[in-house]
């Protein structure tokens, strides 16, 4: 079955079968669950919704071809559409110099250099970009990746994949990019497998400025103008303010939409009384942890 916002699912850490998947979540958006109009809902406690820009939710929410996550996806045509994620308040100075994690379920349909998420501030200030089909040395190579976090003109970390990783082969992939500015480290995981990182600069961007221009999903915001729009389908985007462990990344690949899986309910039986009936409390069929739901039997997303 295809999940939707009209069915039962966990909306917070306490209701989730995998509460750890909500830890350190700063933004969490799940187009896989279905359309919510022009606002892309943020399920984190921050509630900073994204805005579909130059997009039509009646057209751009499509049925995904992802066998691991057979729900919906938000389709970007690589022309001029993107999601404006906002400036994220003081996220830059508070977190970007530390350890941040970016998780996606994404199908890349482009083979040229485009940007999965990005923003560039004025002058030599903040840059945060995750580029697809671009090597760390800026060569254009299908399946390569370039990650760039800049504090200023001299303090930055640049690295990524200098080979065809398969990320842009037209299939859905689970992608996790982890950046540690102060530690000069980058991790990239594709479908639960850690990738070999090539660096071109490691000069410890420990305290980048606040995000000046809106962070864009499926495009790069260059001082208020968009470029390198990515043709892709996105089912999930989660931004965390700390790194995931290797086991957690593998679990998130193995259990798509893990945060939204309702926790198991304990069957509670009432004491037997004369003329009475035994009552029980269960998660209803159709919920994310119920029969046919995301974590249910065959036909469910993790079934």
Instruction: Tell me the domain boundaries of the chain.
Output: 23-257
Residue 208 burial by CB count (10 A; 0-12/13-18/19+): exposed, middle or buried?
A: buried
pLDDT of residue 8: 77
CB contact burial 237-263 (16+ within 10 A = b; e otherwise)? bbbbbebbeeebbbbbbebbbbbbbbb
Task: Compute, in degrees rounded to 10, the torsion defined by CA atoms 172, 40, 129, 163.
Answer: 0
Q: How many CB atoms lie within 10 A of CB 199?
A: 15
Q: At which residue do the structure tokens 């790069």 appear?
A: 220
pLDDT of residue 7: 60
Q: Of 128, 103, 276, which is closest to residue 178 (Cα–Cα)?
A: 103
Residue numbers of the chain with a pLDDT score lower than 70:
1-7, 265-303
**pTM strictly above 0.95:** no
Instruction: Kindly state the helix (H) or strand (E) to which residue 150 belongs, with its residue range.
Output: strand 140-150
pLDDT of residue 277: 34
Q: Identify the CATH number of the domain defined by range 23-257.
A: 2.60.120.200
């Amino acid at each position: 079955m295809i999940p939707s916002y009209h069915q039962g699912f966990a909306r917070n850490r306490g209701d989730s079968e995998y509460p750890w998947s909500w830890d350190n979540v700063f933004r969490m958006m799940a187009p896989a669950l279905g359309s919510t109009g022009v606002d892309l809902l943020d399920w984190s406690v921050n509630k900073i919704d994204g805005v579909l820009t130059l997009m039509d939710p009646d057209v751009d929410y499509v049925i995904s071809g992802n066998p691991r996550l057979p729900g919906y996806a938000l389709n970007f045509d690589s022309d001029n559409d993107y999601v404006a994620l906002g400036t994220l308040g003081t996220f830059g100075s508070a977190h970007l110099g530390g350890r941040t994690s970016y998780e996606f379920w994404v199908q890349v349909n482009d083979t040229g250099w485009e940007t999965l998420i990005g923003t560039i501030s004025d002058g030599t200030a903040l840059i945060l970009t995750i580029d697809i089909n671009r090597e760390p040395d800026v060569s254009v190579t299908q399946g390569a990746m370039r990650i760039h976090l800049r504090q200023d003109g001299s303090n930055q970390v640049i690295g990524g994949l200098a080979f065809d990783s398969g990320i842009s082969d037209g299939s859905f992939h689970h992608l996790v990019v982890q950046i540690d500015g102060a530690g000069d480290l980058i991790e990239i995981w594709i479908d639960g497998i850690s990738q070999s990182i090539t660096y071109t600069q490691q000069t410890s961007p420990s305290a980048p400025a606040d995000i000046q221009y809106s962070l864009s999903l499926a495009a790069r915001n260059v001082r208020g103008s968009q470029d390198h729009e990515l043709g892709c389908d996105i089912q999930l985007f989660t931004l965390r303010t700390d790194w995931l462990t290797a086991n957690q990344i593998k679990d998130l690949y193995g259990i798509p939409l893990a945060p939204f899986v309702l926790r198991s309910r304990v069957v509670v039986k009432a004491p037997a009384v004369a003329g009475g009936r035994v009552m029980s409390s269960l998660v209803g069929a159709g919920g994310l942890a119920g029969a046919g739901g995301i974590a249910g039997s065959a036909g469910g997303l993790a079934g």
